[in-house]
Structure 1
């Protein structure tokens, strides 16, 4: 797999299974994220490979919905999903968890999978002309919120 467009890591003073539970609880993940306002499972009974959920997103008063397919769900280690809008690939999001003494490190990464011609249109639709800069900032915020939630219970 090619390198992600954006990737950030944070050390968290909580067990990997606790952090994984927060990340894979879709309402919790939506509450931690910057653009996502809701995530709902719509295919499958649990967050497992092949499960599909919708992501409702908002930025600067603009709203859009995506369809996300879980590709990896390895408890305590990795959660990842591919994102589409209608028929267009948008992104891959991945959370890798590595156990450390007294806690874990979590790396959140994203890959931009939009076709080149679609990027300009998507920037206008979402109000985000520089997706890499926005995702860098959003990942930093998400990881700070995850750390706070995991460490305070």
Structure 2
């Protein structure tokens, strides 16, 4: 299930500067509170901020199912792009996530979140068993919509939707 094209993507315009958006997006522990599936994150190996090569652990849930992944920052371009690669235990590749930030109207910005699935075919049955999600592209599309809605509310100071 190695996609060259994105498996899921979404876009939102926010009334916040690209720099303010980047500060939130590039902070995995903060973003975990806005995400649909991720419930926690922590930097690894002494890292404390986004820079290429920094790693963090993501903690995820779907109902009673819980799992962790290890992520490595691929791009950390303040005000423009933040991306990372996700691996399951034993370094099994899972996906790439990318946030692009472009200037918008009136000092705001437009944030595009994109996901590529990189999981090897042999691992798909295990991924379904672990996560309980058979349609990962569809789930990620829904998760992106939820995350972007919450991110917009956070950046604009409104109460985040449930």
Shorter-chain TM range is over 0.9
State the partner residue of 1:145.
150
Q: How many residues align?
A: 153
Partner residue, 1:101: 105
Matches within 5 A, 1:45-124: 45-86=48-89, 87-102=91-106, 103-124=108-129
Unaligned 5+ segments in structure 1 are none
Q: Which moved more, 1:38-47 or 1:104-113?
A: 38-47
Following superposition, the deviation at residue 120 of structure 1 comes to 2.1
List gaps (5 residues or longer) in structure 2.
Answer: none
RMSD across aligned positions (CA): 1.3
Residue in 1 that maps onto 2:34: 32
Q: Which residue of 2 aligns with 1:22?
A: 24
What's the TM-score once normalised by structure 1's chain length?
0.95
Name the counterpart of 1:41: 43
Runs of 4+ with >4 A deviation:
none
Query: What CA distance in whole angstroms lies between the structure 1 residues aligned with 2:28 and 2:5?
Result: 26
Given that residues 35 and 147 in structure 2 are in contact (C-alpha distance below 8 angstroms), is that contact kept between their aligned partners in structure 1?
Answer: yes
* CA distance, structure 1, for counterparts of residue 30 and residue 48 of structure 2: 17
Shift of 1:101: 2.0
- With structure 2 as the length reference, what TM-score do the two structures score? 0.90
Given that 2:14 and 2:110 are in contact with CA atoms closer than 8 Å, whether structure 1 keeps it comes out as: yes
Structure whose residues are more often strand by fraction: 1
